[in-house]
Amino acid sequence: MFLQGSVATGDGTPVPHDSLVERVCNGRVNQQVYATARGDFSMQMGSMSDSFLDATGERTSPFGLTSKASLTGIPRRELTNCELRASVPGFRSNTVILAGLTASGGSIDVGPIVVQRTTKIDGMTLNATPYKAPKDALKAYEKGLAAEKNGKLGNAREYFEKAVEIYPKYAYAWFHLGAALQAEDQKDAARTAFTRATNIDAKYLPPYLSLAVMDYQAGNWTGVVNLTGHILELDPLNRENVTGYIVDFDPLNCAEAYFYNALANYQLNKIEDAEKSALKAEQRADLSRFPQLHLLLADIYARKKSYGNAIAEIQAYLQLAPHAKNTDQVRERLADLEKLNGSALSSEKPDQK
């Protein structure tokens, strides 16, 4: 069964590239697909889908640490607990409730998902660069997105290669080519593609995050700080006197950039910078989908000997991820922190003699 529809802006402007349509069931994102440049989308129930970082630190999205995928199809009757929404940077989305929709010929037409531009940031306009691609390059790019969402990474790579061959300045296509190459474990080629995207458009942020993750995996903490620092500098929700165009970046990706920045600064023993970025990540993130942030904050607070705060972060993690693979180790860490906190509190008590 397919869910088909479109994403449309409330003000009639073009739909930004890389707009995501999400199927949310029982409050959780179960499946994502890209909309085309025209805003159309088709979601196959039971197809390969993206997910975000889990409690063990693994994820399946193009930005992530692994390239595993899972089946998320659900029985037709369970659509009563699901809705569709669009994830478009700089916009808020209405939702389409799937309960009661009638299938016709194996598909359900959900109609338009309307996104409204959020409060305008002074001096910012929509990035028009993606729409400058020649028609043949755009067509190849869209075919690549379709192949990518269906798990046909080899085909996706070929389409993205064709897109950048036709239009070498196609930063979006270079980024997705890098993601496809990375999924095929062609790390050097992926890094080259991501770097090409950053050289073409310094305000297109997803490839910076991908490169930061690659540096994270290699233990290049200075590289991680520099790459994520560029992202955070362009964070439109954290800037004054913004000029330029709206950055195509999802808030969750921005939270992830803050997370990696905090982690790298922690490894470089820049604890104050690590705490600052971790707290920013906490503001941006849906912690139910990003519980490991609590573990990082716990380590930061423990390094500062703020054991009470560290304990609170560990407890918050265990509430969000009670069945994570590392639960036993986390509970041991909690016990150690409670002992340290007890000793610290005892040393602070006045002499009773």
Same domain (yes/no): 231, 312: no
Same-domain status, 100 and 153: no
**Do residue 82 and residue 179 come from a single domain?**
no
CB 41 within 8 A of CB 5: yes
Domain boundary (69, 86, 119) is at: 119
Q: d(Cα 239, Cα 106) in Å, to the nearest integer?
A: 47
In a domain, 262, yes or no: no
- 3-state class percentages of the chain: helix first, strand second, coil last, to nearest 5: 50, 15, 35
**Within a domain: 265:** no
Q: What is the pLDDT of residue 225?
A: 97
- Token pair, residue 240, equals 């004054």
* Residue 150 Cα distances to 45, 207, 305, 341, angstroms: 11, 21, 48, 51
Query: Are residues 151 and 205 both part of a single domain?
Result: yes
pLDDT of res. 313:
92
Same structural domain, 245 and 169: yes
Residue where one domain finishes, among candidates 91, 119, 147:
119
Do 189 and 248 fall within a single domain?
Answer: yes
* Residue-level pLDDT at 227: 96
Residues of the domain holding 323: 294-353
The count of C-alpha atoms lying within 13 angstroms of the C-alpha of 180, restricted to the half-sphere facing its C-beta, is 25
List the CATH number of the domain containing 250.
1.25.40.10
287 belongs to a structural domain: no
Residue 141 has a pLDDT of 92
**Residue 200 · residue 169 · CB < 8 Å:** yes
Amino acid at 155: N
Is 285 within the bounds of a domain? no
- What pLDDT is stored for residue 244 in this prediction? 46
Rounded mean pLDDT for each run of 10 residues along the chain, 353 residues in total: 82 72 79 81 60 36 32 50 81 79 71 75 50 86 88 92 95 94 94 96 90 95 96 67 47 80 96 93 71 92 93 91 89 93 75 50
* CA torsion angle 254 257 259 261 (round to 10): -140
Considering the domain boundaries, does residue 270 fall inside one?
no
| H helix count then E strand count, the chain | 11, 12
Which residues, including other chains, have CB under 8 Å from residue 349's CB and lie 6 or more apart? none
Neighbours of 88 (CB within 10 A): 26
User: Could you tell me if 12 and 115 lie in one domain?
Assistant: yes
Task: Give the chain's radius of gyration (CA, Å).
Answer: 22
Would residue 329 count as lying in a domain? yes
- The pLDDT of residue 48 is 35
| C-alpha span between 227 and 212 (Å, rounded) | 6
Confidence at residue 121, expressed as pLDDT on a 0 to 100 scale: 45
Residues 342, 230 share a domain:
no
Total structural domains in the chain?
Answer: 3
- End-to-end Cα distance, the chain: 77
Q: Give the residue from 64, 94, 119 where a domain finishes.
A: 119
Model pTM greater than 0.85?
Answer: no
Say whether both 211 and 318 belong to one domain. Answer: no
137 with 251, same domain?
Answer: yes
On whether residue 184 sits in a domain, the answer given is yes
Does the residue 124 lie in any domain? no
